[in-house]
Structure 1
Amino acid sequence: MKLWLSIAAFSGFLAVAFGAFGAHGLANRASPEELNAFEIGARYHMYHALALLAVAWLATQGDSALVNMAGWAFVAGILLFSGSLYVLGITGSRALVLVTPMGGVAFMIGWLCVLARALKLPA
């Protein structure tokens, strides 16, 4: 639980920091498309920082490979999905554009793992 709570807290911190940077640091330097991509990255980063809180809670309900798989899938999604959109927003480079959907798939895998673990909880 400590691992996932720590990762969730740090990830939430980074999501706020990146969001603020996008709103204030990129407003006059990035194109509207680049700024929009950056903002989507920050939004999904925060959603999944919160999802990591659910992973931390699930970890208190008994050790499960599904819980760890969900957590690492969310981390991978943040790095790949949000990270690639951050790069696009900051640099304008589309070099990582093919990585973005892989991050989205990682997010979906994480949510399916949470669902599978939740279904194992007592009613």
Structure 2
Amino acid sequence: MHSCPSTRIYKGMTVYTFENNGSLIYLDLSYNSLSGSIPTELGPMNYLQVLNLGHNDLTGPIPDSFGWLKEVGILDLSHNRLMGSIPKTLSTLTFLSDFDVSNNNLTGLIPSSGQLITFPASSE
């Protein structure tokens, strides 16, 4: 990630991988003016429990690799410009308790299996 220290505006995302993906459990990059697509490398972070990328300017699809976030309980991708459908791989997230993709340009149906069936289908 590249930043301008005086403005806290980030352009693009650089994801560093560690052997066994480290032990990062909380990643909150909300309200940072991030732009571009979400890196698929965020998916295989084995211990990540909270991922908040809300309120940025992210585009493109939600990566299928997010289905590998086996420990994630909170996934906030709201208030971006994400497109496409919600990947069916997200239905494998058994600990998911808070899922927000509101205020994006997503299309299609919410996958009707796993934890995803417990969330209301609201476009708010």
Greater strand proportion: 2
Q: Which has the higher contact order (CA 8 A, sep 6+)?
A: 1
TM-score, normalization: structure 1? 0.20
Greater helix proportion: 1
TM-score, normalization: structure 2? 0.20
Q: Which has the greater radius of gyration?
A: 1
